[in-house]
Chain A
């Protein structure tokens, strides 16, 4: 452990991590999340046995991209380490679908008897192809390739806890009622922003205009969360006595990335009711990347509660020289 930390410290000191992409720039088509929509209760993140639901993926790309997916769902085998596996055969399989904006997966949660032996979650696995199509279904080939011209392939896994017993089921965090500001100004949902030439469009809350700044003067994005998004729950902890459930409160982790420029970090956390408005700095693109008629920059924010609950939103800004 001592050696591992020494390695980490040296790596940080050497700055070598800076040489590798950290994921804050949307430089290729990416899967950014998946939100479960339970029939009749779309705000709930944890399904109950026997319920019908849809898993809707959230994807983003620097430009236009179409997606196709081959997916499967099974009862997750209990595991504390490594890549999770299935307990038994998949209960739902989605063959490669036609290209579309973002894949989704309809399924029915098995009944409670399937969750025996300590199993308490559904495991989704699949291959999502941007600008391509999976070569096979997952029950025929574990990791199909993507067919197409220069497709982008993402192998995904998603362990989603199921609401068993009397426990209060987890709810999704919501970004609809949250507020975002950039450089102190309200930042509203985008409204058909122009792909190019944004400098000629009027500056609004939905398309704020940012005058290009150097890296020493980044813009400041502030995210204000609703306290109710941080639900209370019982967390399993392994202790020196026995596995124990302890009172816990969710942290909301906000992933943020942009099509240009660079956030100072990949995620921002909301973990303290006394500090509900965390901030993150966004460094503007370099001058050569900003045309005279302005650069439209898309921003993506994904919120996670760490227990399968998820939501996302987008914003747009116009950077002018």
Chain B
């Protein structure tokens, strides 16, 4: 049964006119006094049974209210009756009204006023007007935790991306929430709940339709999921938030909006603190002063051989199929081994589980990609994506005549298939099929006067990866991953160098997580790899130290070659416990044991990290641990290297603080020191056994980071990071020197502005120390070879000038029915800074010239989403 509400009208004319007379306990009227009437602050509705009024009937009740100096109604009387039950309803409601008190010369005083309640019956039924075209939709959803249990009391904030509509609701005990009567359009949602990490999402509400969503929140430090580990990694959630939507939503997360990345989420890693800039944007990952080969990229725990396609312009995985990226610059979990640098963990997302078909088509100047999401049956869905570049279509046209013959113009492609099925509430099965290919081949000097020089680069990998998660109960969870595939790598540089390798990597990971106690969680697992390998290797000289050795311009080294087949067998086990001995402290202790059959050696790595929540804003964090990795293939191959080498070991230490200023601003400051033992170095004169574990290294620095947003209602998103670091190496018989990729200062800032009306613009700027290089101080003419050889100064004793680059991105989005269309322009190196990446020399090393890096590179694209 409904009720009839009242409207009110304080009888202001009457009230004010009578105010002076009605002043209770009024003072002298001998002087002009400034009086103000009470103002209603809290209204209470008077309600009656709807059957008490005829349709269209109006009833009015005027009350006399006495209001004290605090603004409360102390007395209510009927001044003009409307009859029962209206008088009683008005009196009851009138006594609950709250006013801003009347004042005299600014001082609150008691007062008496008239107050009118008006009751109106429903309008008589009329000819129903034609139903208007719906202009509004609704959004309903449920908030769950990682085990699909509802999250009670979660708050959902909603902001329109255009206009200033703002709503917030609180989820009920079942985790459910509803936002009704939303004008069609795009909304930014933020979900917060105590004990969980905030979740941001973007949803498109369509007129006349109800969008149903499910959001999964990640518990903070509850031992569930890698992202909650109290390690010192930066968690970068990208593109697609952790949730499943029954309608295709357009991911507009922070990290694929960043200028200069061409919308590629994985390239945002370059903006994070601790990440150095590789020369020429070669796509190498240099994390906290470690060599590129010292760090590894994983896709859900399975190593992938490369992160970026040619030139580092595009990553190997479709950004819109990513759940998140976890980036660990150091002190990472024992779940990861065989690396002494950093770890990047890429986690794909599940396809949407609604009953709708979704697609994204992205076309730009360099490549095009297509993503399709197809529902299969209840709790099962599949996503397919593919991308291909088309540089090869015009590459031959831009190559100057006679320079070289293009055998295979640069081309890259990648593909992904993700199948997700939840057969029971306790099981999840996922299948990934993915791969990537880069190929480029040319032949120089293909005539009778010179031996053809073919330059070829080809990298391919294909993987099938199956995952099974089983939740036994709320304390025990098991994850099993099996992966297999093929990796091919061809590097050919004339007769001087050839590397043609095929790997068939097989990976098995099994991990169990067990909550022993509310304050004690355990994780243990098996990380097993088996890699049958066949390769052909050929070089004009013997393999040399991979770093810190400038090219000597020739020499008398004999050629080396190898045709090797073998099996790399590297099993590893680990155990980790997460402890909360006292409320603000989270302690993670772990150990890892690895075996490397190629060198018949073991490594044992104990590690520890902690987080101390000083208060709601400040957190202290730190860690120390051992990290090991095997030498590179060529360093241990029989005949070409030294199979007796030991694993390389590093100690990671770090200490830092985090400040969560408010929902918008976060800051971090962290210092670190790493020491590398048993670094592999070349022998004196490059003589057998060619390599020894005689080098050491030290890396130290500090990282400052600040992040702004995304926050509902706040149109700016920003990242600021500054890294001060020094990475040094000590070779046998030498002095400490800079590492090849040492960069003292790395300043990166990015800002994205959601302008409104579908427009978004952003800029990023980088100021980074140039890489060190070894200067040429003279030259020697090699009479036997007929060429000059450089005489070098101290290794890495000089440095390229500072690198600067400004990137801009602007995007305009249109929503046309159920299609969202975006046109974007992403310009890298806007002011065409001529950054020196290397130095080349004349034939006699008497003259030199700069090799300049990436010039201005605009990328215009269009993206349609269904």
A155 to B781, CA, bound (A): 6
- Write the chain B residue with the least CB distance to A242: B639
Given contacts A265-B449, A280-B449, 19 further A-B contacts (CB under 8 A): A6-B280, A12-B404, A13-B399, A15-B400, A16-B840, A20-B840, A22-B843, A33-B786, A78-B685, A79-B556, A79-B685, A79-B686, A80-B685, A83-B780, A83-B789, A238-B688, A240-B639, A267-B786, A304-B786
A11 to B637, CA, bound (A): 32
- Write the chain B residue with the least CB distance to A15: B400
| Across-interface contacts of B841 in A (CB, < 8 A) | 20
Say yes or no: A22 contacts B842, CB within 8 Å: yes
In the complex, chain A residues 40-88 whose Cβ is within 8 Å of any chain B Cβ: 57, 77-84
- Interface flags, B546-588, vs A, CB<8A=1, else 0: 0000001001111111111000000000000000000000000
| Across-interface contacts of A155 in B (CB, < 8 A) | 778-781, 791
Q: Which stretch of B318-326, B450-458, B652-660 is in the interface?
A: B450-458
Say yes or no: B499 contacts A1, CB within 8 Å: yes
Say yes or no: A278 contacts B450, CB within 8 Å: yes
Verify if B813 is at the interface (C-beta below 8 Å from A).
no
Verify if A31 is at the interface (C-beta below 8 Å from B).
yes
Say yes or no: B786 contacts A12, CB within 8 Å: no
Say yes or no: A81 contacts B639, CB within 8 Å: no
Say yes or no: A23 contacts B843, CB within 8 Å: yes
Say yes or no: B449 contacts A268, CB within 8 Å: yes
| Across-interface contacts of B686 in A (CB, < 8 A) | 79-82
Verify if B174 is at the interface (C-beta below 8 Å from A).
no
Most chain A Cβ neighbours within 10 Å, of B497, B780, B791, B837? B780
Say yes or no: B842 contacts A21, CB within 8 Å: yes
Say yes or no: B455 contacts A20, CB within 8 Å: no
Say yes or no: A1 contacts B544, CB within 8 Å: no
Verify if A154 is at the interface (C-beta below 8 Å from B).
yes
A-B contact pairs, 17 of them (CB 8 A): A6-B310, A7-B838, A13-B399, A20-B842, A20-B848, A82-B555, A82-B686, A84-B556, A154-B781, A235-B558, A238-B560, A239-B639, A240-B640, A243-B639, A266-B843, A269-B449, A306-B785
| Across-interface contacts of B848 in A (CB, < 8 A) | 20
- Interface flags, B390-403, vs A, CB<8A=1, else 0: 00000000011001
- Interface flags, B677-692, vs A, CB<8A=1, else 0: 0000010011110000
- Write the chain B residue with the least CB distance to A278: B449
Verify if A255 is at the interface (C-beta below 8 Å from B).
yes
Say yes or no: B789 contacts A7, CB within 8 Å: no
In the complex, chain B residues 118-138 whose Cβ is within 8 Å of any chain A Cβ: none
A302 to B844, CA, bound (A): 17
Q: A7-B851, A12-B403, A237-B559 are in contact. Are A83 and B552 (CB under 8 A)?
A: yes
Say yes or no: A241 contacts B639, CB within 8 Å: yes
Say yes or no: B449 contacts A157, CB within 8 Å: no
* CB-CB nearest 9 A-B residue pairs: A81-B686, A23-B843, A240-B562, A80-B686, A158-B783, A238-B560, A79-B685, A278-B449, A240-B639
Residue in A80, A255, A279 whose beta carbon sits within 8 Å of that of B555 in the complex: A80
Say yes or no: B784 contacts A160, CB within 8 Å: yes
Say yes or no: B783 contacts A8, CB within 8 Å: no
**What size tier do the contact residues of chain A reach?**
35 or more
Verify if A167 is at the interface (C-beta below 8 Å from B).
no
Most chain B Cβ neighbours within 10 Å, of A81, A82, A235, A302? A81
- Write the chain B residue with the least CB distance to A33: B783
Say yes or no: A82 contacts B685, CB within 8 Å: yes
- Write the chain B residue with the least CB distance to A124: B783
Verify if B541 is at the interface (C-beta below 8 Å from A).
yes
Say yes or no: B558 contacts A279, CB within 8 Å: no
| Across-interface contacts of B851 in A (CB, < 8 A) | 7, 10-11, 14, 16
Nearest CB in chain B: distance from A28 CB, A: 9
Verify if B17 is at the interface (C-beta below 8 Å from A).
no
Say yes or no: B448 contacts A80, CB within 8 Å: no
Verify if A249 is at the interface (C-beta below 8 Å from B).
no
Verify if B715 is at the interface (C-beta below 8 Å from A).
no
- Write the chain A residue with the least CB distance to B682: A81
| Across-interface contacts of B638 in A (CB, < 8 A) | 240-241
A236 to B842, CA, bound (A): 31
A9 to B442, CA, bound (A): 10
- Write the chain A residue with the least CB distance to B459: A2
Nearest CB in chain B: distance from A290 CB, A: 24
Say yes or no: B849 contacts A20, CB within 8 Å: yes
Nearest CB in chain B: distance from A20 CB, A: 4
- Write the chain B residue with the least CB distance to A6: B282
Say yes or no: A265 contacts B780, CB within 8 Å: no
Q: Interface on B for A, CB 8 Å cutoff? A: 278-280, 282, 284, 292, 310-311, 399-400, 403-404, 440, 442, 444-445, 447-451, 455, 457, 459, 491, 493, 497, 499, 537, 541-542, 544, 552, 555-564, 637-640, 682, 685-688, 778-786, 789, 791, 837-838, 840-844, 847-852
Verify if A150 is at the interface (C-beta below 8 Å from B).
no
| Across-interface contacts of B399 in A (CB, < 8 A) | 13
- Write the chain B residue with the least CB distance to A158: B783
Say yes or no: A1 contacts B497, CB within 8 Å: yes
A22 to B231, CA, bound (A): 54
Say yes or no: B491 contacts A5, CB within 8 Å: yes
| Across-interface contacts of A124 in B (CB, < 8 A) | 783
- Write the chain A residue with the least CB distance to B556: A159
A243 to B638, CA, bound (A): 11
Verify if A32 is at the interface (C-beta below 8 Å from B).
yes
Nearest CB in chain B: distance from A158 CB, A: 4
Say yes or no: B556 contacts A8, CB within 8 Å: no
Verify if A19 is at the interface (C-beta below 8 Å from B).
yes
Q: A78-B685, A83-B780 are in contact. Are A23 and B844 (CB under 8 A)?
A: yes
Verify if A253 is at the interface (C-beta below 8 Å from B).
yes
Q: A22-B842, A155-B781, A157-B783 are in contact. Are A81 and B541 (CB under 8 A)?
A: yes
| Across-interface contacts of B552 in A (CB, < 8 A) | 81-83
Verify if A277 is at the interface (C-beta below 8 Å from B).
yes
A103 to B712, CA, bound (A): 82
Say yes or no: B849 contacts A19, CB within 8 Å: yes
Say yes or no: B781 contacts A156, CB within 8 Å: yes
Say yes or no: B450 contacts A268, CB within 8 Å: yes
Say yes or no: B639 contacts A238, CB within 8 Å: yes
| Across-interface contacts of A159 in B (CB, < 8 A) | 556, 784
Say yes or no: A32 contacts B449, CB within 8 Å: no
A121 to B557, CA, bound (A): 13
A255 to B310, CA, bound (A): 36
| Across-interface contacts of B292 in A (CB, < 8 A) | 3
Say yes or no: A81 contacts B557, CB within 8 Å: yes
| Across-interface contacts of B844 in A (CB, < 8 A) | 21, 23
| Across-interface contacts of B449 in A (CB, < 8 A) | 265, 268-269, 278-280
Residue in A10, A82, A275 whose beta carbon sits within 8 Å of that of B280 in the complex: A10
Say yes or no: A239 contacts B493, CB within 8 Å: no
| Across-interface contacts of A236 in B (CB, < 8 A) | 558
A251 to B785, CA, bound (A): 12
Verify if A299 is at the interface (C-beta below 8 Å from B).
no
A277 to B843, CA, bound (A): 26
Nearest CB in chain B: distance from A168 CB, A: 19
Say yes or no: B564 contacts A240, CB within 8 Å: yes
- Write the chain A residue with the least CB distance to B404: A12
| Across-interface contacts of B459 in A (CB, < 8 A) | 2
Most chain A Cβ neighbours within 10 Å, of B448, B541, B639, B784? B784
Verify if A208 is at the interface (C-beta below 8 Å from B).
no
| Across-interface contacts of B785 in A (CB, < 8 A) | 304, 306
| Across-interface contacts of B783 in A (CB, < 8 A) | 31, 33-34, 57, 124, 156-158
Nearest CB in chain B: distance from A144 CB, A: 13
A304 to B840, CA, bound (A): 26
In the complex, chain A residues 245-285 whose Cβ is within 8 Å of any chain B Cβ: 251, 253, 255, 265-269, 271, 275, 277-280
A100 to B782, CA, bound (A): 22
Say yes or no: A237 contacts B847, CB within 8 Å: no
Say yes or no: B786 contacts A255, CB within 8 Å: yes
Say yes or no: A11 contacts B840, CB within 8 Å: yes
Residue in B279, B403, B780 whose beta carbon sits within 8 Å of that of A156 in the complex: B780
Verify if A294 is at the interface (C-beta below 8 Å from B).
no
A2 to B489, CA, bound (A): 10
Nearest CB in chain A: distance from B607 CB, A: 30
